[in-house]
Every structure is written in C-alpha cells, then in structure tokens.
Amino acid sequence: MRTDRIETVPLGSRQAGRAGAAATAGRRLRIAPVALLIGVVPWLVGCRQDMHDQPRYEPLEASSFFDNGAASRPLIEGTVARGHLGEDVGFETGLDENGAVVADFPMAVDLVLLERGRNRYDVFCSPCHDRLGNGRGMIVRRGYKQPTSFHDPRLVEARPGYFVNVMTNGFGQMSSYAPQLKPADRWAVAAYIQALQLSRRVPADLLSGEDRAWLAGEPTEVPQPESDDGGHS
C-alpha cells in the first residue's frame, strides 16, 4: 500500500523563515517611499509656474513692442463683431431710420413667438411688471418705484416698436435690457405684452359658448378627469 510522505520541518527552521520574510517585507516598505519620491519629484520639478504663466500676452497687458505700450491692438476702423452689424435699424431698436416707432412686427406672431416672449418676460420683466403686467412685481412690493401698468390706455395704444425701443434703450428708472435680450427676443416680449393687453379686452363674441356663459354667471359643468384603474379618483 502506498503512503504519501510528509516532510517535517524543525521548529527552529520555521521561525527562521518567518523572520527572513519579515525582514524582506521591512526592506520593501523602506524602499517603497524612496521609489515614490523618485517618480514624483521629477513631475513636481517639471510642473513649474511656466506652465501657468506662458510666454504670451494677456488681454490689455503691457508691451514694449508697440509704441503705445499696449499688447492689445485697437480695432480697425469700421470693424463690426460677427452678428452685430445691425443694418436693420427698425428691427434692432424698434424705431425706423426717421425715428418713428415701428408699427408692425417684422416676423409672424404665432404661438412659438408668444411662448418665447412669455419665457423672457417672466424672467426679465415680471420682477417689476408682475406676471399680468399690472406693475406690481415683487421688487415693487419691496419699495421699488412702480412702473405704469401695461393696461394703461396709453400703453394699450402703443405700437410694438415702442416696447422694443424701451427694452433697447431703457426708460426712466428702467435701464436698457439690450445685453440680456437679443433683438428677436425683444420683439417676442413685445408680442407677449400685447397678448396680455388683449386678454383684458377680448370681444365677447370671439369667446366660446362656455366662456360667454361663465361671464354671464350661468352655471357650467366642469369636466372631471377620468380615473384609471388603480389611480386616484
């Protein structure tokens, strides 16, 4: 019958082996920081301030190369930034070449334009003029001077170019909103302002039968939403 041989190791030899392994591990731990420094120090030395302060001129930095001592060169006469040519004065400012208020919109007034106008109005105009155009926005309630209501007869009769021009150049205590609103957005806001004005004076015969009944005080049935299985009724 075959029996596997089991070799025995004296106790002293096993202790010596463990001590040797511990010594080896200790040497490795001492070597590891040195190796880390060898890898990191060149990187630290190579990443000098020159990488942040490169040999180039910053805007408006001084220079001894040009006679006026400035690195930035003045714009060539007649230079216009891309997209800022502004040939259509009426579109840009709301006033034509003769200074008259533009009476008609330069684009189709559709739902897309009104939605854009409402979005920009709520962001930039409602803090003063409130969401309905009454001039009772939040900052007015905090003490700012109240603007004229958009439903004032004078403003109801105003042409769209008037509102565009006010947004472009400012009026009274209202500063210019040209930096915040591009010309197309100013026209969109003007369209939405006129929609707010129209909402107060729509002829009754243009309303639906249900709306006319509501105005007359007649009881109308309010449709209830249908509930699906497992939903809320």
Q: Which CATH architecture has domain 89-202?
A: Orthogonal Bundle (1.10)
What is the rounded distance in angstroms from the CA atom of residue 189 to the CA atom of residue 161? 11
What is the rounded distance in angstroms from the CA atom of residue 136 to the CA atom of residue 148? 9
The whole-number pLDDT of residue 231 equals 42
The whole-number pLDDT of residue 194 equals 97
The whole-number pLDDT of residue 233 equals 36
What is the rounded distance in angstroms from the CA atom of residue 103 to the CA atom of residue 95? 9
The whole-number pLDDT of residue 92 equals 94
The pTM for the full model equals 0.60
pLDDT < 70 regions, the chain: 1-50, 220-233
Q: Which residue in 154, 162, 153, 187 sits closest to 103, CA to CA? A: 162
The whole-number pLDDT of residue 57 equals 87
Decide: 160 and 191 in contact? Cβ < 8 Å.
Answer: yes
What is the rounded distance in angstroms from the CA atom of residue 149 to the CA atom of residue 147? 6
The whole-number pLDDT of residue 143 equals 93
